[in-house]
Amino acid sequence: MGMVAAELMKLGFLITLLAFAMWVGSASVAAWVAWEKGRDPVAWFVVAFFLSTLVALVALGAVPARHLARLRAPQPVAFAERKRSA
């Protein structure tokens, strides 16, 4: 019986480590979303880490983007659109 208890303790520790890694990872996703929207990623990471990742992502969805973090490449204008505008 002692071996079973020891294996269950090892499994519990592994599951705890996995849950913590998922918690930190989801807070990192919230920070990345904040960076993409032009917000401070460190502040949003702290909010997501201590409060909840879901709360942080819902709050980020509610606020408008300040600016794009990366400039998007201009799309080439199709020939038909060039002809119409002329």
Residue range of the domain that includes 24 = 2-85
Q: What is the pLDDT of residue 83?
A: 56
Q: What is the pLDDT of residue 11?
A: 85
Is pTM beyond 0.75? Reply is: no
Which of 63, 64, 53, 62 lies closest to 24, judged by CA?
A: 53
CB under 8 Å to 68, separation ≥6 — which residues?
36, 38
Number of domains in the chain: 1
Q: What is the pLDDT of residue 21?
A: 92
Whether 28 contacts 20, CB under 8 Å: no
Give the number of other Cβ atoms within 10 Å of residue 69's Cβ: 14
Q: What is the pLDDT of residue 8?
A: 79
The Cα 36–Cα 68 span in angstroms is 6
Residues in the chain predicted with pLDDT less than 70, given as ranges, are 66-86
